[in-house]
Amino acid sequence: MSLHLTPGLICQRFETDRLGQPDDIADAIEQLVSGKAHWISGQSVRAHGGMA
């Protein structure tokens, strides 16, 4: 039996129910380089849309 991964099937694994877009990562980067992130250092930030 072969499992065919479709975008709909993949999206079921994300809290947002959609695939990520470049703007989603850009938003995360924008937050990290803003003045509001001055207290964040030496962290790995996983921007994965809440993948289960």
pLDDT over threshold 80, residue 52? no
pLDDT tens digit string along 17-33? 788 889 988 998 898 89
CA distances, 25 to each of 1, 4, 11, 18, 51 (Å): 35, 27, 17, 14, 14
- Computed on alpha carbons and rounded to an integer, the radius of gyration of the chain in Å comes to 15
Residue 49 has pLDDT above 80, yes or no: no
Q: Who has greater pLDDT, 32 or 47? A: 32
The overall pTM is greater than 0.85: no
